[in-house]
A and B are shown apart, each in its own frame.
Chain A
Amino acid sequence: MTRLFNALGGAVVRLIQYLGEVVLLAADTFRSIFTHRIRWKLFLVQVVEIGLLSQLVVVITGGFTGAVFAAQTFFQFNKIGMGSAVGAVVSVAILRELGPVLTALMVTGRVGAAMSAEIGTMKVTEQIDALRALAVYPVDYLVVPRALAMMLSVPLLVAECTAVGIAASYFVAVYMLEIDPTYFVANMVRWTRNRDIIMALTKAFCFGLLIVFISCHKGLTTREGAVGVGRATTEAVVNGSLAVLISNFFLTMTLNIVYPAGYQ
C-alpha cells in the first residue's frame, strides 16, 4: 500500500515538475520576445514549415470532416424535418470545436513531432551546446521563432480548415443531399456569429502555444541518443494531443461565458 502511495506521489511530483518546466520555458520565451532581438528570417522559415507545408493536411481534414458532419447531421435532422438546419449546425460546430481541435491535432502530429525531433537531435549531437558556446541563447534562436510562427500560423490554419469544412458541407448538403441552398445559407448566417469566429481563433492561438512549448521542451530535454530522440518525439505528440483535448474543455467552458453560443 505504501509502495502504491509512493508511486502515485512520485508520478504527481514528476507531473508538477514537468508542467513547471513547460511554464518556465513559456515565460522565458515571452521575456525573450519582448527584450531581445527577434530573428525574422528564422521566423519566416518556420511560417513556411508550419503554415505553408501543413496546407494539404489541413484542407483534407477540414474538407472531409465538414462533408461527413453535414451528412450525419442531415441523416438525423431530416427525420424530424429539420434538414435545412444542417448549415447552421455544421458551421457553429466546426467553428467552435471541430476546426480548432482537429487542426491542432494535425499540427501536433506534423509540426510538433518535427520540432521535438529536430531540437532533440540538435541536443544529442551537442549542437545546442555549440549554440550556447557561441554565445547564442537556445531559447532566442530555436524557441522564439517557432513560437511566433505558431501564434501566426495556427489561427490561419484553423480559419482555412473551418472555411474548407463549411464549403465541403455546403457541397454535400446541396449537391448530394439536395437541401435547398437558400435555406442552408440563410440558417448558417443566422446562427453563426462573429463570436464563434473569435472563439475559433482564440482556441487556435492557445493550442498553437501549447503545442510549441510542449514540443520544444521535449526537444530541449532529450537525452540518450537516437532512442531518446524517438522517445521525445512520441511524448511530444502524445502530450501535445492530450493538452489540446484537455485544454479544449476548459477553453470552451471559459470562452462560452465571454462568447456564449447560440442566437442571442
Chain B
Amino acid sequence: MSVEPGTTILPPETAAATARAQDRHPPMISARGVRKKIGAQEILRGVDLDVAAGETLAVIGRSGAGKSVLLKHCIGLMHPDAGEVLIDGQNIVDLNERELATIRQKVGILFQGAALFDSMTVAENIAFPLREAGEKNAETIRGKVREMLEVMELEGEEEKMPVNLSGGMKKRVGLARAIVRRPSCILYDEPTSGLDPVVSDSINRLIRRLQKRYGVTSVVVTHDMKSAFDVADRIAYLHEGQIYFHGTAAELQQSTDPLLQDFLLGRSEEDRLPSPGAIASSSP
C-alpha cells in the first residue's frame, strides 16, 4: 500500500474503533490544524490529533520531524502559528503564561534531558511543585517525596545533586517531579533516549506502572520503536509536519507502506531492496 505523504492511514475498522473509544472518553488533548514555523522552516504543517482520556499515545517519527515541538504545544510551552490546542476541552492557544498555570497543573511533562533544577537535591526537585502549589506542611511534603522515591525505585538517593545522577536516574527524578502533583496527563519527551536497553526497559515499565496505578493520559514522543510498542495503546507517525499514520501497534506492524516499513526496520532509502521487477527490467 503506498500512501501520499500527509495522508493518515486509518483503516475503516480502526477509525470506527477510535471513534468508539473517543465516544467513551472525550479527548483529553486535541490538536486541530496546528502549524508552526521556526525560522524559515515549517515544522508542523497542520497536525490533527486526539488523545482520549486514559489512553497512551506514542508519537513516533524521524529525528527533526517535529515530535518535541508538537509535545511542547500540548502544554503551552510553544504557541502555534495557526490551529488550536485543546486541553480538557479548553483552547490554550490564546492563554497567557499566568492563565496557562491552571491548565499546567493538569499536565506533567518529562523533558528529554530531564531538566532537573541543578541547584536542588533530588528530594528538593521532587518537592518543588508541592511547595510552589502552597503546601507548607513539611511532613506531608516528606511523605509525598518518599512515596515518589519508592514508585521510581530511587530510595536512598534523595540527598544527591542532579550532577551526580546517571541518565536513567535523572529521567526518573524528572518523572517523579512531573507526577508528584498527580496530573491527569503526562507528556514524555524521548523518555528512553540516551539510555541503555536495560534502563530503557525500566523506564518503559515505569510508564506502564503509572498508567495502571494512576490511570493517567499519556503522550510519549519517541523514536525508540520498542518503547512505543511496549507502552502505547495507539501510535501516531509524524512525517513532514503531519500525522502520516494513526492506529494501533498491530496495524502499524501490518502496514506495507514503504515509509512506515523503513522506519520500523530502521532502513535508509539506499538500503531498500529493489523489487524483483525492477531487477529484471534493469538487467541486460
Contact = CB atoms under 8 A, between A and B. Distances in A.
Interface string A114-136: 00000001100111011011111
Interface in B90-116: 97-98, 100-102, 104-105, 107-109, 111-113, 115-116
Contact of A132 (B97, B102, B128, B178): B97
Given A127-B118, A137-B97, A137-B98, A132 B77 contact: yes
B75 A133 contact: yes
Interface in A104-161: 121-122, 125-127, 129-130, 132-137
Size category of the A interface is 10 to 19
A130 B97 contact: no
B253 to A, nearest CB: 33
B113 A125 contact: yes
Given A134-B104, A134-B177, A135-B104, A129 B115 contact: yes
Given A132-B77, A134-B132, A134-B177, A125 B115 contact: yes
B113 A133 contact: no
A125 B114 CA distance: 9
Interface in B64-104: 72, 75-77, 97-98, 100-102, 104
Nearest to A41: B131
B77 A125 contact: no
B77 A134 contact: no
B154 to A, nearest CB: 18
Main secondary structure of the interface of B (DSSP, over half): mixed
B111 A130 contact: yes
B129 interface: yes
B263 interface: no
Interface residues of B, number: 27
Nearest to A134: B129
- Residue among B116, B132, B133, B177 having the largest count of chain A Cβ atoms under 10 Å: B132
Nearest to A45: B119
Contact of A126 (B101, B107, B115): B115
B90 to A, nearest CB: 15
Contact of A133 (B77, B98, B116): B77
- Residue among B112, B115, B116 having the largest count of chain A Cβ atoms under 10 Å: B115
Contacts of A130: 109, 111, 115-117, 177
A135 B72 CA distance: 14
A136 B77 CA distance: 12
B101 A137 contact: yes
When A and B form their complex, which 6 residue pairs have the shortest distance between CB atoms, in order from nearest? A126-B115, A130-B115, A135-B101, A135-B104, A133-B109, A126-B111
30 contacts: A121-B118, A122-B117, A125-B113, A125-B115, A125-B118, A126-B111, A126-B112, A126-B115, A127-B116, A127-B117, A129-B72, A129-B77, A129-B111, A129-B115, A130-B109, A130-B111, A130-B115, A130-B117, A132-B76, A132-B97, A132-B104, A133-B77, A133-B107, A134-B128, A134-B129, A134-B132, A135-B102, A135-B105, A137-B97, A137-B98
